[in-house]
Amino acid sequence: MEPVKKSNRYDMSTIGHWIDLAVMRKVKQLDLDFHVIMDDDWNDIVMLPRCLVDCDSLEVLKLKLFGCSLSLESFTGSKTLKIFELDNVNLRDRDLVHSFLVNCPLLEELSLIDCSTHNLDYLDISCPNLKTPRINNRGLDYYIGESFCERLNIICPKLVYLEYRGYVANHFSFDVQSLKKAVIELEDLGDIAVLDDNFDVTLRELFAQVSHVEYLSIHCHSIKSIAFNNFPEEVFPSFPNLKTLEITLFCRYMDDLVCLLKCSPNLKSLHMIIIDVGITPEEVETFIDEFDEVERRTLTCVHLKRVEFPKFSGEKELLAIARFLLEHGNALEEMVFGWSNKDKYHTQSMDTMNEVSNFYKASLSVKVITLLKIDTSDSSETDTSCSSESDTSF
């Protein structure tokens, strides 16, 4: 169905007629963006027509409502829907959301992007065949000081991948025994962690729900939240099945990285992304001192296989950290320097890599890569996508 690009106003009956025509033509993918005009007759509730329930061809449905509420009273489910994406949608009725998802037996991918749910006492995601739920509420600034919702329940027996980015619910309850891979990227929750006495319980609940995964990716703000609450090792969840840990962190959170490593007895691969732009020589010295403690160095170097320095600009401080990790990373397979400044890449990268090539390397098989990462995203997008223009290996 070709997109309608007009500045005219259309009422819901007209839009419903268009949707009905699309259904009659056996539409497989339907993308709808609603810009509601706020006037005297304004109603922020969008109701989808019932014809979508009976549509036997629809596989992909994407709705972007720019903060409007979605009513699922008429659209109660779909027998054919496989991918469902909600972007900037206000979800008000927990029971209708639950009922809709239960009545989508073939749904495999669910994305909730900047969806308002903080008025719900709980959000229940129960789908018999759901494999990939993505929750990303980082674009909702008014969640600061509030929770995503009171409780997030996920009951999906075939789920294999979970992506959770942004602000947290107050409580978590998952039944996802088939889950293999989890990506957790919390917002900077420092102020909330200080103000909320129960925040440590929230974090422990969240990590406990994914403690059986084989792959875990977490961001520095997740580590920062752990650091704020000073989790003792004995109460932090164990990750007995974890094989690969990808962690994006600041150097000052080495203590908490070590805590995670101690809780992961069967870890095979550690991917560490260091994002300390503007790091001082004093911070480098502190990092090396903390890392160089025998138990920590041994524990980390046994697993460390990949190190990445994104947005690298030739900083001598980060080169000092790279040198230290190369000297002690006897299992290291790859070290990546990602340059985001095109001019610096072309003028400095070769000299920098020549310098790195002279560093002592504990691993004989380590590959050092320098590449230029070009930002190809639109400025209005939440996520930044990068592509490599060129790379050099040593």
Task: Yes or no: say if 101 and 127 are a contact pair by the CB < 8 Å rule.
Answer: yes
Q: What is the pLDDT at residue 346?
A: 93
Percent of the chain with pLDDT over 70: 80
pLDDT digits (tens, 9 = 90+) for 370-390: 999 866 544 333 333 343 444
2 pLDDT above the threshold of 50: no
219 pLDDT above the threshold of 60: yes
Q: What is the pLDDT at residue 373?
A: 80
Highest mean pLDDT pick, 12-21, 51-60, 127-136: 127-136
β-bridge mates for residue 334, sequence order: 306, 367
Confidence band, pLDDT 50/70/90 cuts, at residue 117: confident
pLDDT digits (tens, 9 = 90+) for 51-72: 888 899 999 999 998 888 888 8
Confidence band, pLDDT 50/70/90 cuts, at residue 232: low
Task: Please tell me the least confidently modeled range out of 218-227, 239-248, 358-367.
Answer: 218-227
242 pLDDT above the threshold of 60: yes
Q: Got the DSSP string for 60-112?
A: EEEEE-TT-EEE-SS----SS--EEEEES-B---HHHHHHHHHT-TT--EEEE
Specify the higher pLDDT residue, 360 or 237. 360
d(CA 155, CA 126): 5
Over the chain, what is the mean pLDDT? Answer: 82
pTM value? 0.82
Q: What are the φ/ψ torsions at residue 143 (nearest 5 degrees)? A: -75, -10
If we measure between CA atoms, which residue out of 94, 83, 73 comes closest to residue 31?
83
Q: Write the burial class of residue 160 (CB in 10 Å: 0-12 exposed, 13-18 middle, 19+ buried).
A: middle
Task: Please tell me the least confidently modeled range out of 27-31, 64-68, 170-174, 254-258.
Answer: 254-258
The residues, ordered by sequence, that sit 6+ positions from 255 with a Cβ below 8 Å of its Cβ are 227, 290
Specify the higher pLDDT residue, 184 or 72. 184
Confidence band, pLDDT 50/70/90 cuts, at residue 258: confident
Confidence band, pLDDT 50/70/90 cuts, at residue 144: low
Number of neighbours of residue 285 by Cβ within 10 angstroms:
12
39 pLDDT above the threshold of 70: no
Number of neighbours of residue 342 by Cβ within 10 angstroms:
12
Determine the 3-state secondary structure of 231 from DSSP.
Answer: coil
Please give the average per-residue pLDDT across 333-357, as a whole number: 93
Q: Write the burial class of residue 289 (CB in 10 Å: 0-12 exposed, 13-18 middle, 19+ buried).
A: exposed
Name the DSSP class of 168.
Answer: P
Q: What is the pLDDT at residue 93?
A: 85
Q: For residue 66, which amino acid is it?
A: F
Specify the higher pLDDT residue, 219 or 391. 219
Please give the average per-residue pLDDT across 244-254, as a whole number: 82
Please give the average per-residue pLDDT across 80-88, as a whole number: 96
d(CA 117, CA 143): 10
d(CA 101, CA 110): 9
Highest mean pLDDT pick, 67-81, 99-113, 283-297: 99-113
Please give the average per-residue pLDDT across 45-50, as a whole number: 82
In the block, residue with structure tokens 């020589």: 281
If we measure between CA atoms, which residue out of 62, 106, 112 comes closest to residue 91?
112
284 pLDDT above the threshold of 80: yes
Q: What is the pLDDT at residue 320?
A: 92
Cα of 354 vs its chain's centroid, Å? 35
Number of neighbours of residue 35 by Cβ within 10 angstroms:
10
Helix (H) or strand (E) holding 133: strand 132-136
Please give the average per-residue pLDDT across 265-271, as a whole number: 90
And the tokens for 290? 């903390």
β-bridge mates for residue 171, sequence order: 151
